[in-house]
Structure 1
Amino acid sequence: VGKEVKNHFYLLENQINVDEILNKIINLDYLDIKSNFDVSLFYLKVPELKEILREYKLKLSGNKPELIERIKTNIDENAIKLPQVYVPTSKGNKIIGETEYILHFYNSPIISLGSAHKMAKEVLNIDDKIEYIYFYLLQQNQKSNNSDHRTANIINSLVLYYKKTNKDKDVIRKYTNYATYLSVTQGIHSAAFLYSSEENIIDRLFIYFNYHLEYYENMLFIDNVSRRLFKNLFYEDIKSFEDTDKNFCDEICELLFAQIYNNRNITLNNLPTINYVLEKIKKENEIRMTKYDF
C-alpha cells in the first residue's frame, strides 16, 4: 500500500484510475489490506530485514527466507511497524484464476488483449482458457489458409505456455515437432526462391531449427532418445496433425541431426525428398514467371 503502480503504459493509455479500481474491488470483497508477518515481511528488502534484526540484537547472516524466519521466531509481531499489503480474498483468488489469460496475452504478438478477453468471456466450463484461446487461433488460422509461419508462431507460443505449466512431456514434444515441421517446410519454400547454391540452402534450412534446438539437444543427449525412435516419434506427431510423407519427415530429422552433430558433409544428395520438393517449387516458379513474361 502506498507503492501502487500508476504510470504503466497500459494504465495511462486506457485512462485507468488505479485508486478508484482498488477501492472498488476492496468494497466488493475481492481484495483486503493486511499487515502481519506472513504477508508483510516478504515485501521488505534484505537491508530492511537486517535493520529490524539489528534493533533487537539478533544475528544478521543468512539469506532472505532465513532472515524472515528469524524475525518471526524471535520478535513479537505487534512490536514492529509492518508495511500494509494488498491481499486477494477467496473471491479475489477465484477471479485471478479465471483471468490468468489477461496477463498471458498482454502485449501478445498473435492476438490483442481485447480479442482474447472476448473469447474467454464466451466460453463456460473451460478450466484452461489460455489453452482454449490458442486452440481457437489455430483452428481459425487453418480455416483461413494462413501461412505456416503464423501457425508455427501460434504453436511456439503454446509450447512455451505448456513448458511453464508443466504440461505432459508427450504433448510438449508433439507440438514442438509440429512447429518445427511447419517452420522447416516454410523454409524449404523460401530457399527454393532465394538461394541458388546447395551450400546456402543447407545453411539456410539449419536456421529453422534454432528456436527449439536446445529442446532437441536435450532429447538426444540427456534423455538418450535414439535417432530411430526420434524419427518415428517425429513422423507420428506430424501425422496426428496432417497428412505427410515419412521420407520427408525423416529427412527433416536428418537435417536436424546434421546441425546438432555438426555434420557439414550433408548435401541435398542425402536428402532426395527435400531436393525433389525444392526442384518442384523452382520449376513451378519458372513456369509462373514465363507465363507473365511480356
Structure 2
Amino acid sequence: MSIFDFFHKANNKKTTNIENKYEEISFNIKTEAIVDDSVDKIYSTKLDGLLIGEIILLDWCNHQLKSIAPPGYFAFTYGINYNNSIEKLFSKKLIRIGSPSESLSTLKAPELKEILRAHDLKISGKKIDLISRIQSNIEEDDYSDSIKESFVITNLGKSILDKYELLVWAHKNGSKDYVVTPASVLPYISSRKNFEKIALKISSDEFIKNIRLNNFPMAQVNLMYQSQLYKKMNDYPTALTNTLLGLLFEFIGSNNTNGHDHVYFFKNSIFVNNYKSELVDFQKRLNLTNDAILSEMSTVYDAYEKNLPAIKLFENKQEVLDALNVILNGTTENFKEITEFWFNRIPEKYKI
C-alpha cells in the first residue's frame, strides 16, 4: 500500500489495514542476560547460540585490529560485554587471528607503500593493488614485523553472517528514529524478501501511526528514511514523492507531538538546506525542470490536503508552491522572508 493509498482511504473514512507482504516468522528462541538493564530485552535473544549483538560484533571484527577499542554501541545498544563476546566467538571457532597476509588490509596505503618500497617494487595503484603486489611478490616473514594482529572470520563465521545477513544490514542501514533496527527486523529473519522492502514495511507502519497522532516531525523522519530506501532500489520517482511530502511536513512548521491541543511553533523552525540538495539530485537523475518539480508538489498537496492540520504556517497550496519555487530559484534570504511572514501571522498563543 502506498502513502497515497492510505490517505485516500482515510479521506473516505474506511478502515485502513496495512497489507502485510512480508511473512512474520515464528521460531523458537533462547535468551541470555545482557549487561545493561536499559537495553531492549529483545537483544537477549540467542540465535545459534549467539546474542544479536554478537552477530553484529562478528561482522564488525572481520579484518579489525585486535588492539582497536570497540564502538560503544556494543554495550549501550546491544548490551554485550566486548571481551566476553570476543572470547565466545573464538571458542565457537567463528573468528581467528589472521595471518600477516590476511592482515594487510588493516594497514593504510602509505604503510603498504613502505613495504613495497623496501623491496624495490612499484608503489602506484589503489590500496587493493598494493596489497595484491605484496602478497604476490614478498614472503610473509619479510613483512610480518610491520603487521599487528587482527581478527578474521572463519568459514563457519561466514555461514552465520550469511544466515543472519538481515540483522547486520539493519544495523548498518537502520533509521535514525530507531524504528528500523536489528530488533525490529528479527521477525523477518527467515524471509527471502528484499531487505529494503522489509525496512519500508516497518517504517511505513510507523509513519501511519505518527500521522494518526499528528506527530508530523517524526512522520517526516520516516518519509526521508523511506526516500533513501527507494533510492537504493533505484525507484527515484517514488523517492521524489516521499521527499516532497516530507518538505510539505516541514512547511507545516509545527513541533507538536501530542495532537492539536498542544501545537506550538518557534521562529526559524523550518530547515530546508538538505531538501535543496536532494531536489537538485532528483532533477539531474530524472531530468526534471523546476516546473516539473512544482507540478509534482501540486499533486502531492492535492493527495494529502484533507489530512493537513488546521493549525499550520502556510494557508493554501499556492503558498506552498511559492515557497518551493523560492527554494529552487531564490536565495536563503528570500526563503527566510517567506517563513518569517508565515510565522508572524500565527496566533501568539502557539508561539514559543
Q: Bigger radius of gyration, 1 or 2?
A: 1
Partner of residue 100 from structure 1, selected from 169, 179, 196? 169
Equivalent pairs counted in the alignment come to 259
Instruction: Give the TM-score normalised by structure 1.
Output: 0.66
Summarize the Cα distance change of 1:74–1:254 in structure 2 as closer, same or farther, 3 Å threshold.
Answer: same
Looking at structure 1, the residues matched to 158 and 279 of structure 2 have their Cα atoms a distance apart, in angstroms, of: 43
Summarize the Cα distance change of 1:238–1:100 in structure 2 as closer, same or farther, 3 Å threshold.
Answer: farther
Looking at structure 1, the residues matched to 307 and 208 of structure 2 have their Cα atoms a distance apart, in angstroms, of: 19
Q: Which has the higher contact order (CA 8 A, sep 6+)?
A: 2
Question: 2:243 aligned with 1:180, yes or no?
Answer: no
Partner of residue 46 from structure 1, selected from 93, 109, 120? 109
Contact persistence 2:245–2:300 (CA under 8 A): yes
State the identity %.
18
Gaps of 5+ in 2: 1-64, 257-262, 309-314
Gaps of 5+ in 1: 269-273, 289-294
Contact persistence 1:50–1:67 (CA under 8 A): yes
Contact persistence 1:30–1:90 (CA under 8 A): no
Aligned equivalent of 1:131: 200
Amino acid at match of 1:86: V
Aligned equivalent of 1:110: 177
Shift of 1:208: 4.2
Looking at structure 1, the residues matched to 278 and 120 of structure 2 have their Cα atoms a distance apart, in angstroms, of: 50
Shift of 1:67: 2.2
Aligned equivalent of 1:9: 72
Summarize the Cα distance change of 1:65–1:242 in structure 2 as closer, same or farther, 3 Å threshold.
Answer: same
Looking at structure 2, the residues matched to 150 and 167 of structure 1 have their Cα atoms a distance apart, in angstroms, of: 25
Contact persistence 1:184–1:209 (CA under 8 A): no
Aligned equivalent of 1:122: 187
Flag the structure with higher helix content.
1
Summarize the Cα distance change of 1:97–1:229 in structure 2 as closer, same or farther, 3 Å threshold.
Answer: same
CA-atom RMSD in angstroms: 4.3
Contact persistence 1:156–1:179 (CA under 8 A): yes
Looking at structure 1, the residues matched to 273 and 285 of structure 2 have their Cα atoms a distance apart, in angstroms, of: 18
Question: 2:148 aligned with 1:85, yes or no?
Answer: no
Aligned positions of 1:21-32 closer than 5 A: 21-28=85-92, 30-32=94-96
Aligned equivalent of 2:220: 152
Instruction: Give the TM-score normalised by structure 2.
Output: 0.57
Looking at structure 2, the residues matched to 140 and 119 of structure 1 have their Cα atoms a distance apart, in angstroms, of: 16
Contact persistence 1:155–1:176 (CA under 8 A): yes
Looking at structure 2, the residues matched to 5 and 130 of structure 1 have their Cα atoms a distance apart, in angstroms, of: 30
SS of 2:226's partner is helix
